Chain A
């Protein structure tokens, strides 16, 4: 077998030597397939490539192209209409109070959900890495709501927020605070949904931050201690810069996720009271699958996609710049 080592070939290429030579080298082995090897490699590669091209052509490129193209159409399968209307969908969109409200709500929702989740999870992760006993069990507990179906946690929280019989009003009453309407109040509904998703998702970021914090070299922190730095100084000058990549990851994934929030709004408020909790995804859903205004809904989805892409690029640029300084 030691001879075989001379004939190393890069992975994926075919052994250049002739069949007879290889047969000699390998001797009695059952599978001498050098020529078939080429066939096999091409077959393997061909199957994979066919799968990739078919899948992404049919379920990504085509639908994406249709969404963009038909956002310039009056497209309603219920009415059977499909006529080019130029920028009409877009101009209607930016004049629609409901779209502007949904956009405002989406930004509000994303901002507070991301801020709440990142701050809370960073604090908890810092506390977690400073203790030794019970860390694993605490971490597993925080993670529980993350894996739950959002339909289920939303239903639970509808009842936690119930104005008459809910858990939260029961609790507030014990402190002498009067009945709150939560999801039934136009002012409190959106913040209440935000509180639910922060509660649900914070465990995910806790895991990631804990892993990041445990990766901060101990010597760095100890050096700072010896130099007489205070706790907060160590945090801002040593810990925070070392977990910056983790921070970026959490921030961007959270933001992209919350920009598309749908199920919690669908289950908890249905956009209400009135239209006070409409977010962009919910508006797309309503327009597309209740009104069957596919063209108009596609235009909204193109705007949503553009916004997400822009914000991701800006965030990456800002954070990268921050990292270099």
Chain B
């Protein structure tokens, strides 16, 4: 090696400095948001702005948790996300298993179509889908939000990849000879062997559902049916001057995601890494 220890130490110093600066830039807006939830509206729009509150107030928390009743939107989001995740991950497993271990006529063509659907922008099918929801009276109904994610192309894609590798065909054959039916094999052998991918996909689908905005915004008209993201955009509307309230609501939309992330951190990063390297 040509590099001296001194040189290496200097390089190491600047590397860490850059990495820590980046972490700082990532976190500062969140810290500022948290600090600002305790400011009065008067202080929030003051010139120049402040970082930490001059005078701490809890009025925005009282308003958002009380009169705005954010918990009801929170439970709407939670219900939708849990249903979408459960159904979506189950069908992904089911169909992914079919594509991984069954042979049938037209399999390749059908699978290519499923992969193709992933490249079509949601906006292209959104207008006709909206029109369709309208004609079957599903506008303003949660069904309109749940039904489009009953089957997930991305989930099928990931599950097929995973089951092909992680579930040995010999094991399925042995079970079949022992007299196990297909449903038994699927639920008692394939599902338990896919636990890693199930958790990675669940987190991914849950967060996607939690963050979903445009479709629920278009489809729902009744305020009490709104998920958090839509309720939040409503608070952000033109006529609102309760900035502190908006900050509290923003923070409370983020917190559940933070908790999920904190619990499943390792799984999460593994799952994301899995999608990138082939």
Contact = CB atoms under 8 A, between A and B. Distances in A.
A284 interface: yes
B44 A208 contact: no
Given A141-B27, A211-B276, A63 B125 contact: yes
Given A131-B16, A281-B121, 17 more contacts: A8-B173, A11-B172, A11-B176, A37-B179, A37-B181, A40-B181, A63-B127, A124-B22, A151-B229, A152-B254, A155-B246, A156-B29, A169-B49, A211-B277, A212-B277, A281-B123, A301-B124
Interface string B79-116: 00000000000010011001001111000001001100
B144 to A, nearest CB: 11
A44 B101 CA distance: 13
Nearest to B2: A228
A297 B276 contact: no
B177 A9 contact: yes
Interface string A303-320: 011001100100000000
Given A294-B131, A301-B121, A52 B218 contact: no
Given A44-B186, A63-B129, A204-B272, A34 B254 contact: no
B40 interface: no
Nearest to A142: B26
B179 A31 contact: yes
A149 B257 contact: yes
Contact of A64 (B120, B181, B184): B120
A170 to B, nearest CB: 5
B26 A199 contact: yes
Interface of A: 4, 7-12, 15, 22, 25-26, 29, 31-34, 36-37, 40-41, 43-45, 48-49, 51-52, 55-56, 58-60, 62-64, 66-67, 70, 77, 123-124, 127-128, 130-131, 134, 138-145, 147-153, 155-160, 162, 164-167, 169-170, 173, 199, 203-204, 207-208, 210-212, 215, 225, 228, 245-246, 249-250, 256, 259-260, 262-263, 266-267, 281, 284-285, 288-289, 294, 297-298, 301-302, 304-305, 308-309, 312
A73 to B, nearest CB: 12
Contact of A124 (B19, B127, B173): B19
Nearest to A245: B278
Given A63-B125, A138-B19, A156 B101 contact: no
Contact of B114 (A56, A165, A211): A56
Contact of A139 (B104, B173, B269): B269
B1 to A, nearest CB: 7
A294 B125 CA distance: 11
A170 B51 contact: yes
Nearest to B273: A211
Contact of B129 (A59, A70, A139, A312): A59
A170 B144 CA distance: 44
A260 B121 contact: yes
Given A131-B15, A289-B218, A140 B265 contact: yes
13 contacts: A7-B177, A22-B179, A34-B179, A67-B128, A138-B22, A149-B229, A151-B236, A155-B232, A203-B26, A207-B272, A249-B276, A285-B214, A288-B127
Which residue among A10, A144, A159 has the maximum number of chain B CB atoms within 10 Å of its CB?
Answer: A159
B124 A305 contact: yes
Contact of B113 (A45, A56, A130, A302): A56
A147 B261 contact: yes
A308 B118 CA distance: 12
B119 A256 contact: yes
B124 A140 contact: no
Interface in B29-49: 29-30, 32-33, 36, 44-49
Nearest to B258: A144
A199 B272 contact: no
Contacts of B45: 164-165
Contacts of B113: 56
A11 B123 contact: no
